[in-house]
Structure 1
Amino acid sequence: MKESKLASFLAIDLGASSGRAILGTIDNGKLELTEINRFANPIIDINGRFYWDLFHLYSEIIKSLKLIQSQNIEIKSIGIDTWGVDFVSFGKDGEPLRMPYSYRDTRTFGAPEKFFDTFFSKKETYLKTGIQIMNFNSLFQLFTQQEDDNPIYPITDKFLFMPDALSYLLTNKMVTEYTIASTSQLLNPFTRSFDEELLSKLNVSKENFAPIVFPGTTIGTLSESVQKQTDLGAIPVIAVAGHDTASAVIATPAENENFAYLSSGTWSLMGIESKEPVVNEETYALNFTNEGGADGSIRLLKNICGMWLIEQCKKEWTKEKDICYDDIVLAATQAEPFKCYINPDESCFASPESMINEIQNYCRKTHQFVPQTMGEIARCIYESLAFRYKQILEDLKKLADFPIETLHIIGGGSQNNMLNSFTANAIGIPVIAGPSEATAMGNILMQAKAAGLVSDKADMRKIVRNSVNLTRFEPQDTELWNNHYHKYLKQS
C-alpha cells in the first residue's frame, strides 16, 4: 500500500429509496466515512406510471456540494453510483426529454415474452448477453417504448444510464460507464461492447449511446454552471463503478478468492467473481447474470428480492404504529419458527398494492399456516430469504471453479444479525457481515485508485479490513435447518 497524504473524496451513492453524499478520507491505510447529506429518492406516481425525479437528485447533489464548500472541505474528486437498468433519454440539444421511468413500472410486465416471440428466443437473447432475464432490463424497457410508439423514442439522441446522466448534468460530458451498462442486457459480455444486432431490433444504434468507459476514467470537471452554483473549482468527476453492486463488491473485505458475496439491500445480489463470462446451457437454465466488475472481472450473480419485502410491509405497519426495523426484528425473534415460507422471487411480490396481503395469499394458496402478526410475517420473510440464499449458493457452488468457503454479506442488510445468523445456519458455512457502507467505500476507493493512491483490488480490500469491524456468524443447528429447507423447496 502506498503512503499518501490525507486525501478526501465524495461519493454520491443513490439507492432505490434514498441517496447519500458520503465523504471518504484515506489516512494511514484506513478509510473514514462521514455522511454529508442524506435525502429521499421516492418513486413518483403520475397517472399510474412510475418515474424517478432526475432534477430532484441533481438538486440534492448540488446541495451536497454546497455543504462541502461551506465546511471548507477539500475534495480530490466526485463519483456517482446508482441502481441498474434505468436510463434517461436526451434530445439532440442535450436536454432530457422526460423524467426516467422506474424499473418498478408495470409497463414492461410481459415484455420479455413478446420480445422473444418477435425477435430472438429467450435462449438466444441470454446467450448473446449472459444477463438474467428480468422484465425491467433496459432491453425490455426500450422494446416496450418502441412497441408503445412512445413519442420521445424516435427523437432520442442519447440514452444515458442513471449515474452517467447525473455525471453529465455535472460536467456536460457524456459517457457510458461499463459496469452500469452491463446491467442493461444490451452488451456482449465477451467484447464488452453493445450488441449491434440487438440494438438494430430496437431501431437504435451504438451512436445512441455515449462511448463506453471503464471504472477509474475521468469524465470531466464540474461545469462552469455547477462551479458558480457551488463556489467550488473545477473538481474532477470520476466514472467509478457506476452500478452500486459493482462498487459494493470491490469493497468486499475478502482475504482470498474462495468466497461468495451477498450484497444485501432492497435487492439481494448473490454471486462470485469470475475472470471470464460464464455463459452456457447451465447458466441459462439457472438464469444467472454476468455483469461487469469494477476491476474488469465478471460478477456472476443472481438477483433476489431482498429487503424490499420487509420495506413494503413496514410501510403498512407504520400506518398503524410508528415502528423501526429493530422492532420488526424483535417481533420476528419472538415468533414461532418454521411455520410458513414464500418464494421471495415470485412475480406477485414485485410491485403489489399490499405486500402483507400477497404474503398471506401465497401461504393460503400453498396450504400453509397464514401469518397474521408482524412477527409471524417478518419471520416468514427472514427464514424464506435465508433458504433462498441457500438455494442460490448451491447453484453457485456448481458453477464456481473454486471452493466457496465463506459468504460475505455487505451493504445495509449486513446489519441484520438475525438474518445473518439464519443465513449461516441455512447455508452451513461461515458468514462474515460488513461493511454496511460497502457501496460508498467501493465508490471512494475507485476514486482513490484513479488518483494513484491505491493500486489494485487487493489493496482496496486491505483498506476495508483495516477500516471496519466485521462480525462472523458460524452455522448452528444445521441439521434442523436442512430438514426445514426441504419443506421450503416444496412450497417455493
Structure 2
Amino acid sequence: MANAQKYLAFDLGAESGRAVVGLFDGNGLRLEDVHRFPTGGTLVLGTLYWDVLRLFEECKKGLALAVTQFGKDLAGIGFDTWGVDFGLLGRGDVLLGNPRHYRDHGNDGMLDIAFALVPPETIFERTGIQFMQINTLYQLLALKLRKSPWLEAAETLLMMPDLLAFWFTGEKSSEFTIASTSQMVDPRTRQWAYDLLIRLGLPTHLFTTISEPGTQKGVLTQEVAQACGCGAIAVYAPAEHDTGSAVVAVPASDTDFVYLSSGTWSLMGIELPQPLLTEQVRKANFTNEGGVFGTTRLLKNIMGLWLVQECRRAYARRGQDHNYAELTKMAEQAPPFGAFIDPDDPTFLAPTDMVEAIANFCRRTGQNPPEGIGATIRCCLESLALKYRRTLELLDGFRGHPHAIVHVVGGGTQNRLLCQLTADALQRPVIAGPVEATAIGNVLMQAMGRGEIGSLEEARAIVRNSFPLETYSPSAATKDRWEEAYIRFRKLCGIEDS
C-alpha cells in the first residue's frame, strides 16, 4: 500500500498477545503481525497473577520490531486487553504488586457480600453491568475485606491497557470501554459511579478521568522511544476493551444485527444508542458495556472457547496432546447431540481439570458423560451453539423483533465447525470474519483519533472492503434435531420461560 499510514496495535487476550501493524491508505486496511507472545496467568502459592512487567517488556519488543520492519514514522500506537483486571500504583507511581488474574479464587463469595451491602437491583441500575464475580468491583471488595496493604497504600487504579499506556507515555487516564467492564461506571454519564463505591466502602480517590475512545493519551516517553529506536510517537486510546475494538470491526452495513465476538470468551450482543437498564435485562444477566461513538454494547458474556482450551490442557496432562485443528476434526467425527453442558456453570470458570468438570456436570444433570476426546470437544461446541441460541432469543425479545443476521468475528471464526453448528442451532445465516477483528478495530479507532475516519459506518465499510468473509447457511436437514436438542438444553439449564 503506497503512502499508507502505519499504526501499531497491541492486542492482549487472556491466552496470547500480539503486536500488529495496520497499513491504512484511506480506503483499505492491511495487517502485518510483528510479534506474538503468551499472556496467561502465573499461579504462586495458590494465587493467580498476571506477570504485567513481562507483558510490558513484550510490548516494547513489539514496538522495536515494528520500527525495524516499518520505519520510525508510525502514525500511532494503541492498546487493548481483556476487561476487569487492573494494577494499583502507590506513592511515586510504583506498582504495588502484580495484578491478580480475574480467575483467581480470591473473588469467591464476593457477590453475596456485595448484595448484603447494596441490593443487586441498585448496583445494576447504577452500572448496567452483568453480575460476575470477576468484575473489578468485587475484586476491590475482596482486597478491602482482606485488609490488603496494596489497597491501603494505593493512590491510583489503572485498568490493564491504561497501565501499559501509562508506562509508555507517563500519562495516567482511563478509557471508557475498558472502565465500563469494572461495574463501577454510570452508563448514562459515562463517568465513575462514586456513590456506589461509597456505599460499598470502597476508596474513591483511586480513579483518573475517563476519556472517550479515539482520544490521544500522550506520546512515548524518551525512555521508551530510545529503547525502541524511535521518536515521540502518539499513543491513542482505541476501544481499549478488546471486545469493544472487535465490535468496531463488525462488517455490518446497517444497525440491525447481532454480533458474536468469539474467542476465549464469547460476547454476544447488539449495539444500541443508549443503555437498556430494564428489569428484564437485569434478570437475564446481560451487560451494558461501553461502545465507540457514544454507543452501548448490550451483550452477554458466555464462557466461550475457554472450554476447549482447558480441555486441550487437561488432555495434554494425560499425554494426549493435540492442536486445535486436530481437536476440531475429532469433534466433527464424533456422534452429534450427545451430552450438553451449560457453558456458564460456575464450575467451568477455573476448574483444575475441565474434562472432569464436564463429566461431573453431566452426571449431576442425569446425562452420560461424553466418551473420548472428540465427544468431549463436540459437547463443548454444541453446548456453545445452544447457548448462543438462548442468548439470541433474549436479544430478539429486547429489541422486539428477530435479527436476520449474526456476525461472528475474532479467532473463533477459524473454527469452521463451531460456525456451522452456530448457524444450524440459530437457524439464521452466520457471517464469519474478520479473524483479527480486535486488532482491526484498534487500528481504525487510532485512525479516527487522527481524523482519518469520521464515523462508525465509514470504519465498517473499510472492513468490508479489506477482509474476506464467509457465510454459513443453516441446514434444513438437521433443524428438527436441533429443536429437540434445544428442549433438552433448556431443561438442564433450568430455563422455564418461553
TM-score bracket, normalised by the shorter chain, equals over 0.9
1:91 maps onto 2:93 in alignment: no
Query: Hey, what's the Cα distance between the residues in 2 that align with 1:251 and 1:22?
Result: 15
1:385 maps onto 2:384 in alignment: yes
Q: CA deviation at 1:313?
A: 0.5
Task: Give 2:289's aligned residue.
Answer: 291
Task: Give 1:406's aligned residue.
Answer: 405
Q: CA deviation at 1:401?
A: 5.1
Task: Give 1:324's aligned residue.
Answer: 323
Task: Give 1:131's aligned residue.
Answer: 129
Query: Hey, what's the Cα distance between the residues in 2 that align with 1:49 and 1:354?
Result: 17
1:83-127 CA deviation, whole Å, 9 max, x = no partner? 00000000121111111010010111110101111x201121111
Query: Hey, what's the Cα distance between the residues in 2 that align with 1:194 and 1:261?
Result: 27
Please say if residues 141 and 202 of structure 2, whose CA atoms lie closer than 8 Å, have aligned partners that are also in contact: no
Task: Give 1:437's aligned residue.
Answer: 436
Please say if residues 4 and 453 of structure 1, whose CA atoms lie closer than 8 Å, have aligned partners that are also in contact: no
User: For structure 1, which runs of at least 5 residues remain unmatched after alignment?
Assistant: none
Query: Hey, what's the Cα distance between the residues in 1 that align with 2:10 and 2:489?
Result: 39
1:364-386 CA deviation, whole Å, 9 max, x = no partner? 12121211200010111111000
1:278-334 CA deviation, whole Å, 9 max, x = no partner? 001101111110000022100000000000000000012223133111111111111
When structure 1 is superposed on structure 2, of 26-35 and 232-241 the one drifting more is 26-35
Task: Give 1:376's aligned residue.
Answer: 375
Task: Give 1:310's aligned residue.
Answer: 308
Task: Give 1:470's aligned residue.
Answer: 469
Please say if residues 142 and 202 of structure 1, whose CA atoms lie closer than 8 Å, have aligned partners that are also in contact: no
Q: CA deviation at 1:436?
A: 0.8
Matches within 5 A, 1:357-368: 357-368=356-367
Task: Give 1:181's aligned residue.
Answer: 179
Query: Hey, what's the Cα distance between the residues in 2 that align with 1:25 and 1:47?
Result: 44
Query: Hey, what's the Cα distance between the residues in 2 that align with 1:29 and 1:460?
Result: 9
Task: Give 1:424's aligned residue.
Answer: 423
Please say if residues 42 and 50 of structure 2, whose CA atoms lie closer than 8 Å, have aligned partners that are also in contact: yes
1:484 maps onto 2:490 in alignment: no
One-letter amino acid matched to 1:277: P
One-letter amino acid matched to 1:420: C
What TM-score do the two structures reach when normalised by structure 2?
Answer: 0.96
1:237 to 215, 235, 238: 235
One-letter amino acid matched to 1:311: Q
CA 1:479/1:78 → structure 2, altered by over 3 Å: closer, same or farther?
same
User: For structure 2, which runs of at least 5 residues remain unmatched after alignment?
Assistant: 494-498
1:375-421 CA deviation, whole Å, 9 max, x = no partner? 01011111100000000110000112564110000000011111111
- Identity across matched positions, percent: 41
One-letter amino acid matched to 1:468: F
Query: Hey, what's the Cα distance between the residues in 1 that align with 2:165 and 2:348?
Result: 33
Please say if residues 252 and 461 of structure 1, whose CA atoms lie closer than 8 Å, have aligned partners that are also in contact: yes
CA 1:5/1:475 → structure 2, altered by over 3 Å: closer, same or farther?
same
What secondary structure sits across from 1:93 in the alignment?
A: helix
1:76 maps onto 2:75 in alignment: yes
One-letter amino acid matched to 1:491: L
Q: CA deviation at 1:253?
A: 0.3
1:11-50 CA deviation, whole Å, 9 max, x = no partner? 0000011100000001261110000000011201111101
Task: Give 1:397's aligned residue.
Answer: 396
What secondary structure sits across from 2:302 in the alignment?
A: strand
Please say if residues 118 and 199 of structure 2, whose CA atoms lie closer than 8 Å, have aligned partners that are also in contact: no
Query: Hey, what's the Cα distance between the residues in 2 that align with 1:414 and 1:72?
Result: 29
Task: Give 2:167's aligned residue.
Answer: 169
Q: CA deviation at 1:207?
A: 3.3
CA 1:358/1:318 → structure 2, altered by over 3 Å: closer, same or farther?
same
Task: Give 2:37's aligned residue.
Answer: 39
1:195 to 193, 196, 203: 193
Q: CA deviation at 1:203?
A: 4.2
Query: Hey, what's the Cα distance between the residues in 1 that align with 2:454 and 2:190?
Result: 23
CA 1:401/1:4 → structure 2, altered by over 3 Å: closer, same or farther?
farther
Q: CA deviation at 1:455?
A: 1.4
Task: Give 1:341's aligned residue.
Answer: 340
What secondary structure sits across from 1:207 in the alignment?
A: coil
Task: Give 1:156's aligned residue.
Answer: 154
What secondary structure sits across from 1:341 in the alignment?
A: coil
One-letter amino acid matched to 1:75: L
Q: CA deviation at 1:197?
A: 1.3
One-letter amino acid matched to 1:152: W
Computed over aligned residues only, the root mean square deviation of the Cα atoms, in angstroms, reads 1.4
Q: CA deviation at 1:5?
A: 3.9
